[in-house]
Structure 1
Amino acid sequence: MEALTQAPTDAALTTQVLEAAIAAARVILDVYARPIAAVSKSDGSPVTEADAAAEAVILDHLASTGIPVLGEESVAAGIVPVLGERYFVVDPLDGTKEFIKRNGEFTVNIALVEHGVPVMGVVLAPATGETFIGDASGAWACNTASGIADEKRSISVASVTPLRIVASRSHGHAALATLCETLEVEEDVSVGSSLKFCLLARGDAQLYPRFTPTSEWDTAAGQAVLEAAGGAVVTLDGQRMTYGKRDLAFLNPYFVAAASGELARRAAAEMSKILG
């Protein structure tokens, strides 16, 4: 297992971020309990009233930190703060398509980025209360359905073979089959939103290749959790995926998340070959 060095983070700040995610989850579940109306953004992706309401709650909870926040809905409204070297990245409702489908596979994502890398992250699934946290102290899972962190347990990646791969339920790609054959993948587990990173972090799968577009708020919290659990996230050049790409509208390149840096780089090299 290859551990990446995480910058020191304040345990109190992690707790504050967790509380913000729990509060956002309550708002999301209020909307989830009634008929859901969705509209399309300029890029064609869906958005519901839960997205904006959850982000407002998160912004309120994090305001006392004085740390800038890069939020998906704020960016969509043209509000992009001066970020500096330390800022939060927020996706108030990751997996809006899953939310609309009512399959439970949607999450609240909050990450702290320092010097271009996510050093702390919280991924919370409101429908189940399943929650994953990663920071300098390590990675752990708990259940927050009650409003507090219950059943807290440490998690870590599992480097086993044959490999298990996490595929996106809503964003599949034809190249995935070729990659699975090349790496002799035993099975794939389909799940929505940033839960894919979390399945790797707790050892349920070893590989998550992404051949389709994502934004920084889709991945920052999940990357923080996975890296804290001993995994790695690299772009196709084999380098750690970084953040703050304002000139690219905060879009990520294709990437591989894996249970180890070695596996991530191997899969990234194969992806490069497949994609030409």
Structure 2
Amino acid sequence: MPDKLLDLMLAAARAAAAPIMDIYLDEFDIYEKADGSPVTLADQRAETAILKLLAPTGLPFLAEESVAAGHVPELGDRFFCIDPLDGTKEFLKRNGEFTVNIALIEGGRPTRGVILAPASGATYLGGPDGAFEINYRNELLPIRTNPNHPMRVVASRSHGHDALKGFCDALVVTEDVSVGSSLKFCLLAKGDAQLYPRFTPTCEWDTAAGQAILEAAGGAVLTLDGRPLTYGRGGDHLNPFFMAAASLELAAKGVSEMQKALSAG
């Protein structure tokens, strides 16, 4: 891969996948973080593996388990945004729909991203040279969004919302494609879905890698004020509601319908 930094991020994601699967295929304990969300030893070991490989870059990081432990460094203009195990609820259900997410943030925007699903091996990359899926032969296959397809919406398997029905009716959605974790962004990036309205809370590390891949594939992620979703905002690291879509035009239209659906609710 010509992009050495993206190559390093991919290596870090693959390093995290090994301890995740070791624990996934065995019995494991479930703990509760201060906010009540579940965490396992897999989350912690995966983050350790990622940080070990990325440390030589000297870049700071915003990583979920480190934040939970109270470690939030001064991020500056350029940093990694890491979720070592996105979709812990999917992990606990053992449905395979969990991922490792690693993104590079520059000037508040995600410019490179890697998403790897350890259970299936599905791997997606996005950066300055475009977006790619890695197949079973370890070949890079370019992927692009498909905004002209009959509308399919990616709904969250674990986080639904009452406003979703009104949104889907307004945009004449023909199919609801339900999937867990950041794989929702990947479905949009490779043209298998067109819309991902998010009506429920997410954190920066949940979305950064997916946004990088989707934008590299031709899509867009807008907040309800019509601006791109940004990172390194500080505070509680929660994202506002957002609209991810297969094109900027479709995202803007989706934002308008999200606003109407929320007002009607």
Question: Does structure 2 retain, via aligned residues, the 8 Å contact 1:36–1:100?
Answer: no
Query: For 1:140-170, what per-residue CA distance to the aligned partner results, in whole angstroms no more than 9, with x for missing partners?
Result: 00147xxxx7132000000124200000000
CA distance in 2, matches of 1:152, 1:115: 27
- Is the aligned partner of 1:189 residue 2:177? yes
Cα distance in structure 1, aligned partners of 2:139 and 2:109: 29
Distance 1:226 1:155 in 2: 10
Q: Secondary structure at the match of 1:185?
A: coil
Q: TM-score, normalised by structure 1?
A: 0.93
The reply on whether 1:270 has 2:257 as its aligned counterpart is: yes
Contact conserved, 2:135 with 2:141, CA < 8 A, in 1?
no
Alignment of 1:237-252 (within 5 A): 237-247=225-235, 249-252=236-239
CA contact (8 A) 2:164 2:261 kept: no
Deviations 1:8-47 (A, max 9, x none): xx71111000000000001100111101221121212110
**Hey, what does 1:151 align to over in structure 2?**
139
Q: Are positions 1:177 and 2:169 aligned together?
A: no
- State the partner residue of 2:222: 234
SS at match of 1:91: strand
Aligned to 1:131: 123
Matching residue within 115, 133, 141 for 1:141:
133
Residue type at the aligned position of 1:235? T
Question: 2: CA distance between counterparts of 1:102 and 1:221?
Answer: 23
Report which stretch shifted further, 264-273 or 68-77.
Answer: 264-273
In 1, Cα distance between the equivalents of 2:139 and 2:4?
Answer: 19
Unaligned runs of 5+ residues in structure 1 are 1-9
TM-score, reference length from structure 2 = 0.97
Equivalent position to 2:245, from 258, 265, 268: 258
Does residue 63 of structure 1 match 2:55?
A: yes
> What SS is found at the alignment partner of 1:150?
coil
CA distance in structure 2 between the aligned counterparts of 1:161 and 1:67, rounded to whole angstroms: 40
State the Cα deviation string for residues 95-134 of structure 1 (Å, max 9, x = none): 0000010000000000000000000000000001100000
Find the aligned partners of 2:108 and 2:246 in 1 and give their Cα distance.
21
Structure 1 distance, partners of 2:35, 2:208, is 21
- My pick for the range that moved more, 233-242 or 151-160, is 151-160
Distance in 2 separating the partners of 1:65 and 1:261: 33
Look up the equivalent residue of 1:155 and give its one-letter code.
Answer: I
**8 A Cα contact 1:237 1:269, kept in partner:** no
Question: How many angstroms does 1:270 deviate by?
Answer: 1.2
Alpha-carbon distance between aligned partners in 1 of 2:172 and 2:72, rounded to the nearest angstrom: 43
Deviations 1:200-251 (A, max 9, x none): 000000000000000000000000000000000000111110011103x111
Per-residue deviation, residues 166-191 of structure 1 (Å, max 9, x unmatched)? 00000011110110001100001000
2:72 alignment counterpart: 80
Instruction: Name the CA distance, whole Å, in 2 between partners of 1:236 and 1:117.
Output: 17
Higher mean displacement: 158-167 or 62-71: 158-167
Q: 2: distance between equivalents of 1:161 and 1:229?
A: 15
RMSD value, Cα: 1.1
Paired position in structure 2 for 1:7: none
Give 3-state SS (helix, strand or coil) of 2:15's partner: helix
Higher relative contact order (CA 8 A, sep 6+): 1
2:20 aligned counterpart, secondary structure:
helix
- Runs of at least 4 residues of structure 1 off by over 4 A? none
2:92 counterpart of 1:97: no
Question: Is 1:25 the counterpart of 2:17 in the alignment?
Answer: yes
The percentage of counterpart residues that share the same residue type is 61
